Structure 1
Amino acid sequence: MEKDVLAFHETMDTHEMINFKTICLVRSKLMQGICFDNDLKALMQKDVDQSIAAIEELTQFYTKARTQH
């Protein structure tokens, strides 16, 4: 088996992690709009920034994803 290619279960796990981080990103962005506490807004912005970085890192694995046998 090739080492530069993700297995099917690794591709699926990567997809699930990207979905989770996307949900985290959207939730934090939406909650910032209704939050009045500046400290909490700053914490949510930090989560947004970290989620964006995680998504960018995870999407790099899609180039190695296996989609067919």
Structure 2
Amino acid sequence: MNYGLHEVLELQEMAAFKTTCLTKSKTMKALVNDPLLKDIMQQDIDVSTRQLQEYASILSNVKQ
């Protein structure tokens, strides 16, 4: 599929931001003692990982 340059750049920007958030969640999860908060953070990690895989899949199919 053909994407506009602005669409590709926006997706790359979202992926970079999501990567930063994922790194922070993984790091902070190790410091949390509350089991409920750990569970919420793990859910965020799982969703973020899945989203990054989707972004990578889309970006790998971009025709330049």
Structure 1, gaps ≥5 residues long: none
Q: How has the CA–CA distance of structure 1 residues 65 and 14 changed in structure 2, closer, same or farther, with 3 Å as cutoff?
A: farther
In angstroms, what is the RMSD of aligned CA positions?
1.0
Cα contact 1:25–1:51 (8 A) shared by 2 = yes
Structure 2, gaps ≥5 residues long: none
2:20 aligned residue (18, 23, 26): 23
**Once the two structures are aligned, what percentage of the paired residues are identical?**
33
Q: How has the CA–CA distance of structure 1 residues 65 and 48 changed in structure 2, closer, same or farther, with 3 Å as cutoff?
A: farther
TM-score by length of 1: 0.84
Query: Bigger radius of gyration, 1 or 2?
Result: 1
Q: How has the CA–CA distance of structure 1 residues 45 and 27 changed in structure 2, closer, same or farther, with 3 Å as cutoff?
A: same
Matched positions, count: 63
1:9 aligned residue (6, 15, 18): 6
State the distance in 2 between where 1:29 and 1:46 align. 11
